[in-house]
């Protein structure tokens, strides 16, 4: 019996040491949020809530009326469950790609649109 008790004691000690090395599992995402950021740490990924996303309106974006109309039409179809196209926003830094996404989130979040930010 003492050999068994000693083995259990050593196994518990080993498990305690191993648990200290393993990162804690992240909690479940807050699904009530409208925006998240994909985070990764030591090979593990998780969604982190962006508690106060920077929301702007489409009216804040100037001189891209045709592009706004097209992406708003497509996004409206998407959130209503209709066929929608994928959208690829291209352009140099500072041309408003992220601002368009923020404005769409602002306009369509009440219809179920959500955003996940993923770093390069």
- Identify the residue with better confidence: 91 or 23: 91
- Does residue 18 form part of some domain? no
User: Which residue range(s) make up the domain with 72?
Assistant: 25-117
- Does residue 38 form part of some domain? yes
Taking alpha carbons only, the member of 65, 23, 63, 68 closest to residue 46 is: 23
Q: For 47-79, write each residue's pLDDT tens digit.
A: 999 999 999 999 999 999 999 999 999 999 999
- Does residue 4 form part of some domain? no
pLDDT recorded at residue 119: 85
CA 97 to chain centre: 17
How many whole angstroms separate alpha carbon 102 and alpha carbon 71? 12
Q: For 8-52, write each residue's pLDDT tens digit.
A: 899 899 888 888 887 677 778 889 999 999 998 777 788 999 999
pLDDT recorded at residue 1: 57
- Does residue 33 form part of some domain? yes
- Does residue 103 form part of some domain? yes
Do 30 and 49 touch, CB atoms closer than 8 A?
A: yes
- Does residue 90 form part of some domain? yes
- Does residue 56 form part of some domain? yes
Taking alpha carbons only, the member of 42, 44, 29, 27 closest to residue 116 is: 29
- How many domains is the chain partitioned into structurally? 1
- Does residue 59 form part of some domain? yes
């Amino acid at each position: 019996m003492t050999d068994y008790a000693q083995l259990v004691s050593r196994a518990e000690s080993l498990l305690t040491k191993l648990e200290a090395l393993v990162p804690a599992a992240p909690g479940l995402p807050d699904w009530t949020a409208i925006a998240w950021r994909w985070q990764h740490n030591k090979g593990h990924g998780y969604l982190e809530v962006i508690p106060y996303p920077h929301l702007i309106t489409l009216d804040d974006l100037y001189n891209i009326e045709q592009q706004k109309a097209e992406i708003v039409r497509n996004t409206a179809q998407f959130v209503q469950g209709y066929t929608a196209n994928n959208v690829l926003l291209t352009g140099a830094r500072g041309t408003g790609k992220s601002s368009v996404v923020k404005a769409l989130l602002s306009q369509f979040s009440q219809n179920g649109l959500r955003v996940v930010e993923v770093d390069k």
